[in-house]
Amino acid sequence: MKRVTGIGGIFFKCKDPEKMREWYKTHLGFDMTQYGAKFEWEQPEGAAEPGYTLWTPFAADTKYFEPSSKEFMINYRVADIEALTEALKQEGVTVLDEIATYAEYGKFVHILDIEGNKIELWEPAG
């Protein structure tokens, strides 16, 4: 079974996400959206749309990374989130929630690695 297929996003905490986005836009040329910067790349032949990796600053007091106390969270793209989640459960990995589906974006679930880092798994829509 294919598991992770790439990095879907890099998320980190900061004091002022708006200022952080503006700094990266001004000084490094990041093309910003409300979610941060989207770096597109080509997917394998036959894909309807390009793939992308999202770079997103979050407020320092965000609860989204909990139960991890770390300042970052990585989102990994996966090929089959249902099968992978089941395999991870059987392997004893801590799965934090049920798979959530959003028509526009795809499917998401959160796990913890062995050091308590929260990881977001994402199967893109389509």
pLDDT, position 30: 95
Report domain extents, the chain.
4-18+58-124
Q: How is residue 32 written in tokens?
A: 């910003």
Structure token digits, residue 118: 């929260």
Q: Return the percentage of the chain with pLDDT > 90, whole number.
A: 80
**pTM, whole model, 2 decimals?**
0.89
24-81 residue pLDDT tens = 999 999 999 888 999 988 877 766 777 889 999 999 999 999 999 999 999 999 999 9
Q: Which CATH architecture has domain 4-18+58-124?
A: Roll (3.10)
Ramachandran sector of residue 29 (left: φ over 0; alpha: ψ -120 to 50; beta: rest): left
